[in-house]
Homo-oligomer: A and B are copies of this chain.
Amino acid sequence: MPAALIPRDEVVRRLFDAFRTFGYEGATLARLSEATGLGRASLYHYFPEGKDGMAREVIALAREWIKSNVNAPLVNVGEPATSRLKTALRNVANGYDNGRAACLINIFGIGDANDVVREALRETASLYSHGFERLLLDAGVQKSKAREISFDTVIQIEGALVLARALDDRSVFTKRIQKLEKQYLELIG
């Protein structure tokens, strides 16, 4: 019985990349096989539920990524608010490869996903704004205002990614992240 070529986590990470590059429908098993280096049969060994199961695990990875790379830094009360924000935004920029990579929240929102995927998507999108909201509340911003701004933050991230891809110009994204940082520093600095 041959050993696993790569850890399961790494398989999921590569699937994640493939899904957000090609979209759900565009991510064919041939491409997923190439992205992971695993044959189709091996993919079905890892994911008996097939492509749908892969998608579910990939969304779960996205959720964990947001938790550890965005929300955890933002609510890390040991640090001053400004450096918490900078860490989170740096992680956001890196996570999207500075605008080259798309967001799964967008990708899986296209087409007719099943209910499980749709609910996971809703939860993940909601989670995304929570960290920013907490940071603003900690900094003394009023609740309704904090909610509005944190929503606005996710909207700007998603919109900038879309426009950067359409214009084929990453700076549209990186500049927007810089502008977000500036806006936050005016509020919480």
A60 within 8 A of B: no
Q: How many identical subunits does the complex contain? A: 2
Complex CA gap A172/B163 in Å reads 19
Complex CA gap A110/B106 in Å reads 10
How far is the CB of A174 from the nearest CB of chain B, in Å?
13
Q: Which among B102, B157, B159, B176 is the interface contact of A110 at CB below 8 angstroms?
A: B102
A112 within 8 A of B: yes
Complex CA gap A124/B167 in Å reads 9
A2 within 8 A of B: no
A-B contact pairs, 8 of them (CB 8 A): A105-B166, A109-B165, A118-B168, A122-B168, A126-B167, A154-B163, A155-B176, A159-B162
